[in-house]
Structure formats: structure tokens, C-alpha cells
């Protein structure tokens, strides 16, 4: 996938699969056989003083392609475990998911191991996995989903030809994807199915109940697990969730609004950054660049054949650099370089956001997230509903609305069968910790409030900070509360706040 729908889907099921009742006995899987990871895991993010105590091992777990057919076709799922040599009084495993959907966990495990406090590492194994359809777990390869191989054109959804163009592009891409994967297999790559995989993994790890940390889409996955298996939960940390009550159009309107607000905060902070001096006024710089790129797409100085960037592509490239304030100097550089005729830094931002394969050969995360998100959706909206959302987006987010028009259409022309994700409720689960960041551009804060309410067992922790996700970033307050929950199952008081 190369179009702007990739970022929309990045920043944010098996037929006949039913939620298991509490009376059903959890299946017991054979213990995993862990061995050396080799090149599957890059451990360089771990500092040497910590690396000496940590052992990284990998395994493969077979899970049913369709959980309603447990003895049918199996799908190999890549798993990684980190164990501390100082471990004592072991509680079990913490399974972590980085989000996406589409991000492979094996690529994130070393970063978590580098930042996790000693008191947690000494009581838990850290475990992650490449969810079905990602990374080493039969990564989805749908390179035409959707793509023209050219700079992305601007569309006006009030114009029939533009609406039909976007609709046809998604339809053709999804048909090509169904042909590549197998039309009968596409519904297997879903959040509901991945939540069931998570339970198979829990059993194979030998844990009676699941301890889990999920970021962004990973919070959505964790909530789906609690919905299906409330009696098998020990502790779930659901950090930066989207709003489970919202449909796709509503999520996209609010997400674009989040990036609009984040860009305003970035621009207001310009006087505090030496790197911003070259831009002058970032608002004017971005507007100039977008208009210029729409007339003559900006080439890339990278040697891997990047498609020149249109104005829409420029907007897409900025979104990944608005995820956290420490990325703002890089955004300054990216805009400045693009104004001088080199879009390479903005292309790199897209690659990092979507785990895009630069040469286009083989699967990347953006293709998996398209399949997963569109399979999860209940169905296409009417054109009138899309137009209403586009108008709302234009009023609230004038800078980013042109990009948002593509985001609204991301699943409109989806052809393969869908398996809608149920709204998660888990009133009988133990207390679940939902973490929301007040100034989160990718999954705006109201989503965390909504999920905590919807679950019926959620306890909300609010960080008054900036950026996407909160745990293991820059808030000692958040980290202390989450660590206490993981270790002691202590939940914060209602309305708990951590300062920025």
C-alpha cells in the first residue's frame, strides 16, 4: 500500500467465531519451544549494562486459521520472549502489542526491554508476537491496496467523478488483495481472530490468566480479548485506544482533527526550536509546500525510487512526525528540505509510521492494517454519510481535510467479506487500566474515556501530556501507576491525573 489510506489505517473476523463463555474451559496448549532468535530480533536498543542480564529467545506457535475449525489449517505465529537472569518470585508473562494494526511485535520487543523498570523485569517475562498477517506470521502482501504508483491526487468528495475514482481505487485494490491471499482467507485476518490467538498464546506460555499491555490498536485488541475471555484476564493495560462507540467515519473526523490540533501546537512552539528558524512561519511554509507539490510533485533524494510527493503526500508525511514533541525538529527539517526540493525525510516518516518496505518488494505493515481494519468494519457508509463527514472535517480541520478525504474512503470500496468487531464489554472482568493522553493526535483522548465506560470494568488514568501513548515514554507518574497495577493489581482512583 502506498496511498494516504495507509496512514489512516495505521493509526488506527474469522467467520462464525463466537465469544467464549466463562463456563467453557480454556484450551491447554503444549509449552512453546524457545530457541535462539538470530536475525529475527534486533537487540541493539538494549544498553550494554542491561543486555548482560537479558536473554532473548524465539518460538513459533501454530494457531488455527479459523478458530471455529481448530483442527483445520494452521497459521504459524512468531513469538519472542525476554527473560531477566535476576528474575525471582515470577508472576508470569506480560504480553505486549505495539498497535497498528500491522506492527510486528518482534520489532518492538528490544525497545520495551530497554525501558521496562527492573522491578517489572525481575517478576515477569516480556513476550510479544507478530499478529496474524504481519511480519513473520504470514505477512499479508497486497501491494496494490490501493495504489496508482503515482503522486496522490487531491479529491473533492462532493464531485461525483472524484468520489467514484477513490471508490474504484479501493475496490480494485481489495479485489487484487483477495486474489493474492484467497478470498476465503481474507476474513481470517481480523481483530476477533487475533484476540483468540492471544488466548492460545496465553495458554502456551503456561499462564492461567493474561497480563497484557497494548498500545493504540493494541488497546483495541486487548479490549476485544476482555470481551471474549473476561475470566482469563489478570491485568490489561489499554494505552491510547480509539473510541469503540464510533464508526469509521467518526474516527477519521476526530483523528484528522487531532493532527490539525497537533500541527497548531507544533507551529506555536516554533520560537522554542532552533531548527524551526529556517521555516519562518510553519503554517505558511506547509501551505506553500502543499500548493507547490500539487503543481509539481517533490522528488526524493533517497536512492530507492520514491514516488515524488504531491501535496496530499506531504500532509501524510507530516502526520508521523506529529506523534510526539521530540519529533518536531525532524518535521522542521523535513519541511525545510522539501521546500528545497527533497522529500526524502517525509518519505522516511511514512516508512516509519507504516513499516513500509521501501523497495515495495514483500509485505509491509500498511497492507496488513488495511485488511484488518476494513475486515473489522461493519460495512460501507452511504455517500451522504461520507459527504457529511467530509464537510465536518473541512470545518474543523482545514489544513488536513484534503488528506482526510482519502482517509474517509479507505474502506468504502472494500469487496471481501467483513467480520465486524463487536463493541467491547467486560463487566465481569477484573479491573482494567485504560490510559489516555490529553493531547494525543492519533487516538484523541475522548476514546479512552469512552472505552473505560464501555468496558464496565475500566479504570481511567489521564496523562496531561502530548503525543501518542503514555506508558514507557516520559511520565514517571504514569509509569509508577502502570507498574503498580502490573505488579500488585492496584488500580488508581477514579479521575486519576498525571501532569504533563
- Residues catalogued as catalytic: 216, 440, 468
Residues in the chain: 500
Distance from C-alpha of 51 to C-alpha of 65, rounded to nearest angstrom? 36
Q: Can you tell me which residue has the cell 498477517?
A: 133
Q: Can you tell me which residue has the cell 502543499?
A: 290
Buried b (16+ CB within 10 A) or exposed e, 480-500: ebbbebbbeeebbeeebebee
Q: Are strands 458-466 and 496-498 parallel, antiparallel or unpaired?
A: parallel
Q: Which of 462, 464, 458, 463 is nearest to 491 (CA)?
A: 458
Distance from C-alpha of 157 to C-alpha of 179, rounded to nearest angstrom? 28
Q: Which of 473, 471, 500 is nearest to 483 (CA)?
A: 471
Would you list the DSSP string of 393-420? HHHH-TTTHHHHHHHHTTTTT--S---P
The three cell numbers locating residue 470: 503514555
Whether 424 and 224 have beta carbons less than 8 Å apart is answered as: yes
Laid out side by side, the sheet with 54-64 consists of 35-36, 54-64, 74-84, 124-129, 92-97, 210-215, 233-239, 432-439, 458-466, 496-498
Element (H, E) at 497: strand 496-498
Amino acid at each position: 500500500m502506498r496511498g494516504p489510506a495507509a496512514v489512516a489505517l495505521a493509526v488506527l473476523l474469522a467467520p462464525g467465531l463466537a465469544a467464549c463463555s466463562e463456563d467453557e474451559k480454556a484450551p491447554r496448549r503444549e509449552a512453546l519451544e524457545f530457541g535462539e532468535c538470530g536475525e529475527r530480533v534486533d537487540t541493539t536498543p538494549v544498553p550494554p549494562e542491561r543486555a548482560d542480564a537479558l536473554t532473548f529467545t524465539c518460538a513459533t506457535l501454530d494457531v488455527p486459521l479459523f478458530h471455529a475449525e481448530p483442527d483445520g489449517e494452521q497459521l504459524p505465529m512468531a513469538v519472542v520472549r525476554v527473560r531477566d537472569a535476576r528474575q525471582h518470585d515470577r508472576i508470569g508473562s506480560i504480553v505486549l502489542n505495539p498497535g497498528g494494526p500491522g506492527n510486528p511485535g518482534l520489532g518492538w520487543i528490544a525497545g520495551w526491554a530497554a525501558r521496562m523498570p527492573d522491578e517489572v523485569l525481575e517478576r515477569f517475562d516480556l513476550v510479544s508476537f507478530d499478529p496474524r498477517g504481519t511480519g513473520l506470521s504470514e505477512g499479508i502482501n497486497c501491494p496494490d491496496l490501493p495504489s496508482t504508483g503515482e503522486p496522490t491526487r487531491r479529491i473533492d468528495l462532493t464531485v461525483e467523478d472524484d468520489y467514484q475514482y477513490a471508490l474504484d481505487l479501493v475496490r480494485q485494490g481489495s479485489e487484487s488483495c483477495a486474489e493474492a491471499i484467497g478470498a476465503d482467507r481474507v476474513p481470517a485476518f481480523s481483530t476477533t481472530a487475533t484476540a483468540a490467538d492471544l488466548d492460545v498464546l496465553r495458554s502456551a506460555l503456561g499462564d492461567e490468566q493474561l497480563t497484557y499491555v497494548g498500545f493504540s490498536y493494541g488497546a483495541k485488541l486487548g479490549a476485544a480479548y476482555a470481551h471474549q475471555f473476561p475470566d482469563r484476564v489478570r491485568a490489561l493495560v489499554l494505552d491510547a485506544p480509539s473510541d469503540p462507540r464510533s464508526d469509521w467515519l467518526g474516527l477519521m473526523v476526530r483523528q484528522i482533527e487531532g493532527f490539525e490540533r497537533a500541527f497548531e501546537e507544533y507551529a506555536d512552539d516554533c520560537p522554542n526550536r532552533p531548527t524551526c528558524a529556517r521555516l519562518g512561519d510553519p503554517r505558511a511554509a506547509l501551505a506553500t509546500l502543499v500548493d507547490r507539490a500539487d503543481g509539481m510533485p517533490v522528488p526524493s533524494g533517497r536512492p530507492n525510487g520514491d514516488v515524488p510527493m504531491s501535496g496530499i503526500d506531504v500532509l501524510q508525511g507530516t502526520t508521523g512526525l506529529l506523534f510526539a514533541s521530540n519529533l518536531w525538529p525532524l518535521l522542521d527539517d523535513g519541511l525545510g528540505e522539501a521546500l528545497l526540493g527533497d522529500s526524502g525525510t517525509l518519505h522516511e516518516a511514512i516508512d516509519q509510521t507504516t513499516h513500509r518496505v521501501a523497495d515495495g518488494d514483500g509485505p509491509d505493515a500498511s497492507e496488513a492494517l488495511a485488511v484488518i481494519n476494513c475486515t473489522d468494519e461493519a460495512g460501507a457508509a452511504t455517500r451522504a454519510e461520507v459527504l457529511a463527514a467530509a464537510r465536518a472535517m473541512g470545518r474543523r480541520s482545514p489544513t488536513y481535510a484534503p488528506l482526510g478525504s482519502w482517509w474517509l474512503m479507505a474502506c468504502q470500496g472494500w469487496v471481501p467479506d467483513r467480520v465486524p468487531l463487536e463493541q467491547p464489554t467486560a463487566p465481569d472482568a477484573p479491573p482494567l487500566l485504560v490510559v489516555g493522553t490529553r493531547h494525543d493526535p492519533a487516538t484523541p483522548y475522548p476514546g479512552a474515556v469512552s472505552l473505560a465506560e464501555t468496558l464496565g470494568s475500566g479504570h481511567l488514568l489521564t496523562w496531561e501530556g502530548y503525543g501518542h501513548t503514555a506508558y514507557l515514554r516520559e511520565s514517571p507518574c504514569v509509569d509508577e501507576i502502570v507498574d503498580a497495577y502490573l505488579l500488585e493489581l492496584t488500580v488508581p482512583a477514579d479521575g486519576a491525573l498525571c501532569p504533563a
